[in-house]
Amino acid sequence: MTSSSSKPVALVTGGGGGIGLAACLQFARRGYRVALCDLDGARAEASAEAVRAAGGEALHLVTDIGDSAQVQALLAELRGRWGRLDAAFNNAGASALRTALADTEEADWERVIRTNVTGNFLLMKYEIRWMLEQGGGCIVNNASVFGLGGSTSAAYTASKHALAGLTRSAALSYAAQGLRINAVCPGLIDAGMGARFIERSPEQVTAALALHPAGRAGTAEEVAQAVVWLCSDEARYIHGHLLPVDGGYGAR
């Protein structure tokens, strides 16, 4: 029988719902203990309870990933509780209206860049340091299809391209030291930001779905399955890959 202390540990940021919650549940099904964080404490607690209800172990924390001290405190708490970090899904992100560059307010630019770029830089910095110390680990970032192509949202597109670049840079730097670093690039997903877009802009959804050859929005579970696979031994020779989970959007 496997002891709790020998089980691998996964960290999921933005774990309070949508893709984050689906990833927490997928990791738990694969035998991971799951640490999750979110800005919304009630949502984080609800996700942790969902993991426990499914038979898994969960730790939840409230964290602003754009704050270095809070990121370090998150990982210190995890280290003190479970002592290891085998996989990290850096999923937390800030959305932005579909605003062209000249119409983008500086405050919106700074908000999106702070979370999507600086926040994920901080997470990777301290996750990588810990994983190097323990001799290995896997990181998956959520880079979006807009990290591969463009959209009219200047701030969001720029932030996701930056995250794609951070992913590849880190993968090149640390592949020989036992770390695997990749990203998923979801298309329109019927959860989280995607669900809010579907609810808010039904006329735009029809146009968006026309760009997805699969003819439908994806599910949070489909993204989560790709994330957990990238963290598995089945993907052990994959480094620096930006994996579209997009119903064929990027193949057009």
Phi, psi of 62 (to 5 degrees): -95, 125
CB 37 within 8 A of CB 21: no
Is 174 annotated as catalytic? no
CB 89 within 8 A of CB 66: no
Return all residues near 103 (Cβ < 8 A) that are at least 6 apart.
Answer: none
Strand partners, 12: 36, 89
CB 154 within 8 A of CB 223: no
3-state class (DSSP) for residue 86: coil
Burial class (CB in 10 A: 0-12, 13-18, 19+), 176: exposed
**Given 32, 156, 174, 249, which residue is catalytic?**
156
Give the catalytic positions in this structure.
156
